A and B are shown apart, each in its own frame.
Chain A
Amino acid sequence: MSEQTGTKPRLRLAGPARPLAPTGPKVADGLSFKGGRGADMLIRGAHVFDPREGLDSVLDVIVRGGEIAELGAGLSAPEGAEVVEAAGKHLLPGFVDPHVHLRTPGFEYKEDIESGTRSAAAGGFCLILAMANTNPPVDNSGLLRSLRMRAAAEAHIPVGFSATVTKGMKGEELTEMADLADAGAACFTDDGLPIADAGLMRLALQYQRLAGRVIALHQEDPALTRDGVMHEGAVSAALGFAGVPAVSESTMIARDTLLAEYEDARIHVQHLSSAQSVETVAAAKARGVKVTAEATPHHLSLTDEAVGDGTDANFKMNPPLRDEADRQALIDGLRDGTIDCIATDHAPHAAHEKEVPFEQASMGVTGLETSFPVVYSDLVVPGVLPLALVVEKLTCGGEPFGLPAPRIAGGAVANLALIDLDATWTVGEEGYESRSSNSCFAGRQVNGRVLMTLAAGVVAFRARSFAVQEVGA
């Protein structure tokens, strides 16, 4: 790492951006990455599993200069290549997360680009999109460019930076969306806040014809949410918490899918949480509206029952955990394609922001390091969803934003996650790579451990217990 971020962000504004991935393979336009030496390795005997490529067998994989050079049986290591003994392990395409809060600038005490991308790499991710609700928000191209420069120095995996739809995220005026697009905005979003004003939302959708890029939407009607802190239902009634009704989300999705249809615009709905929301997206898709949607591992795995006695704010997030029928609807939505991808909404917060009464605590949970293990343990192991579907949904998170899913194929850039599906571990027991530890899965025993991640051809993560084994002669 060339730089450590202090508590006060100092962004270098001068000087040309470094070339992306100086020696490794190129990453897509708009992505920022510190790069590194393209890997040379033989991954021997892994169960190679890429449903899109129809791969589901034990193979050797040779990576040269960060590209997948060869797949086959009984391959021998090229000179100088590391040999990774991977028998009994699964080699998957690297995961893509379109919804990560890197908290930089302004909240580096929660997370920064270095720690957040390290956390992502440890979770098997090879590409993430960073949200723009920072302080200040990413609402101008100068800030966006400086963030990309910072990421070019310290991001362990490629990062796409989003920019806000409205200035200062105030929901009043549009940002210079065309300039921001030129500066490399991966998408536009006021994530963290809804765009409450339907008229302004419509203007943003119209302006998309000029600026391009997808508009990603945090859907919530503040007039319905009011002071709600968890899902409105039996649990909130018993605990005396003000509830966030499911209709706070679904009515906004209805509004914006209708607006997108009217303006022929392209939207992405973030973190679906309720059955009504899934139905609303499905209905819009059936009408041909250009809408995609995501769901988080915590909404797929937990319900409002997890809030328990209301003394653990690690179960407080927005949207809130909802009821079992909602959770089932999300799972069905993944199965039938209404929900395009799984996204973590990784939202780190410091201990002092969570160790307070639930109603006062910040909203959000970390998710990068637990995404695959939780979805695998709670949905694949019990037979609810096939591994192939889960792998597709964890790897295609860039597609709504024009970023193709990683694939395991000769000639492709090596974006790979090597995973021991049988390994069991306890979340949080050995700490986290993230700067924050606000996981709603802390203490849970899960299956599936990421051993190594290659992102854009570079080794971005290697588990401590999974060291370099041998170098080919």
Chain B
Amino acid sequence: MRHLLGIGDLSRDQIERLLDRADSLAQLLERENKKLPTLSGRTIVSLFFENSTRTSSSFDLAAKRLSADTVSIRAQGSSVTKGESLRDTVQTLSAYGPAAIVVRSPFVGAPGMVTRWTDAAVINAGDGKHEHPTQALLDAYTLRNRLGSLDGKNVWIIGDVLHSRVARSNILALTKLGARVTVCGPPTLIPREIEALGCSVSYTLEGSNEADVLYVLRMQNERMAAGDNFIPSVGEYAKRFQINGERLGARQLLMHPGPVNRGVELSPDVVDAPQSLITEQVAAGVVVRMAVFYELLAGRGEPEGGQKRATAVAPMPDGATR
């Protein structure tokens, strides 16, 4: 694996390998000293063209725990948001010889384009409405920890699928891991022919009580232009699609990628309900992103000596067994 651009590029084996790696890193993080020397002396650049709190902090912490030097470029609102300069920005940053560039962009495919202009490994931290692969990996990791295996599990992804890169990456990741996925929401927020990704579609919550997992999406107001009438009102939406105490079964698990619009897609009481995995998802973010850095970078030579690329994966540090 050279880059992580999307779940669409990964096989089930590759996903499982990343999740296994996250497992073993999680064990190491139970020690007092949480820092591993794996990426000491390597540089990781994060280039965020969109606002982000949890994703960027989680990538940052993951890189630091592996002892990498980190540089964060926040291009939101600056001239760099114009696509014309994406290439220039990347080429400039590449002069620092980064081992990896983490890219978040409001535009589909931007991380894939970045791979053409740099030798660094490129990690997609969200590209437009396309994919958010590390989110799906941390969701799969969280679910696997809770359920053991996803094979045959019934997952409903509920809400604004149209504007959601989290939905696309999760449909792909969860189905690749053996789950059955249904996307649910008002027809105006479900993309035509989304079934091609391997999910089924429901325009009501009827049947959701049989799901093992309710994965509720954030209403992406920021991705809707003013005057887009995708839903007549938040009230009507909430009446039909909000997951509340009545609609969440005792044995169902509840997930949400955050940040939650309380009172819109989730009622305030379910956010902290025992079925909720929302906090576990956030915690999983760091270890899963560490696993991504590890898998992409640990086996590859130092960036400065790019020719000597080791082919074997380096042994785990500190004599760990995996």
Contacts and interface: CB of A to CB of B under 8 A. Distances in A.
A and B co-occur in one complex: yes
Interface of A: 227, 232-234, 236-243, 245, 309-311, 352, 355-361
B168 A359 contact: no
A3 B194 CA distance: 54
A238 B196 contact: yes
Given A237-B196, A240-B168, A241-B129, A309 B87 contact: no
Interface in B236-277: none
Interface in B181-237: 191-194, 196-197, 225
A254 to B, nearest CB: 20
Contacts of A236: 191, 193
A358 B131 contact: no
B197 A356 contact: no
A413 B158 CA distance: 67
Given A310-B108, A310-B130, A311-B112, A237 B191 contact: yes
28 contacts: A227-B225, A233-B192, A234-B193, A234-B196, A236-B191, A236-B193, A237-B191, A237-B193, A237-B194, A237-B196, A237-B197, A238-B8, A240-B128, A240-B129, A240-B130, A242-B129, A309-B112, A310-B130, A311-B109, A311-B113, A355-B113, A356-B83, A357-B83, A357-B108, A357-B113, A358-B107, A358-B108, A360-B83
A193 to B, nearest CB: 19
Contacts of B129: 240-242
B174 to A, nearest CB: 15
B112 A352 contact: no
Contacts of B110: 357
**Dominant SS at the A interface?**
loop
Contacts of B107: 357-360
A247 B129 CA distance: 23
A309 B110 CA distance: 10
B86 A356 contact: yes
B105 interface: yes
B84 A352 contact: yes
Contacts of A227: 225
Contacts of A245: 192
Contact of B86 (A237, A309, A310, A357): A357
Nearest to B191: A237
A16 B239 CA distance: 74
Nearest to B113: A311
B113 to A, nearest CB: 5
Contacts, number: 73
A438 to B, nearest CB: 15
B165 interface: yes
Given A237-B197, A238-B8, A243 B192 contact: yes
Question: Could you say which of B86, B108, B110 has the most chain A C-beta atoms within 10 Å of its C-beta?
Answer: B108
- Which 10 pairs show the lowest CB-CB distances between chains A and B? A240-B129, A357-B107, A356-B83, A234-B196, A240-B130, A360-B83, A311-B109, A310-B109, A237-B191, A311-B112
Contacts of A311: 109, 112-113
Question: Could you say which of A236, A243, A357 has the most chain B C-beta atoms within 10 Å of its C-beta?
Answer: A357
A233 to B, nearest CB: 5
Contact of A233 (B86, B87, B165, B193): B193
B268 to A, nearest CB: 30
Contacts of A238: 8, 168, 196-197
A232 B194 CA distance: 11
A358 B129 CA distance: 13
Contact of B108 (A232, A234, A240): A240
B298 to A, nearest CB: 26
Given A236-B193, A311-B113, 5 more contacts: A232-B192, A352-B84, A357-B83, A357-B113, A359-B128
Nearest to A242: B129
Given A233-B192, A234-B196, A236-B191, A241 B83 contact: no
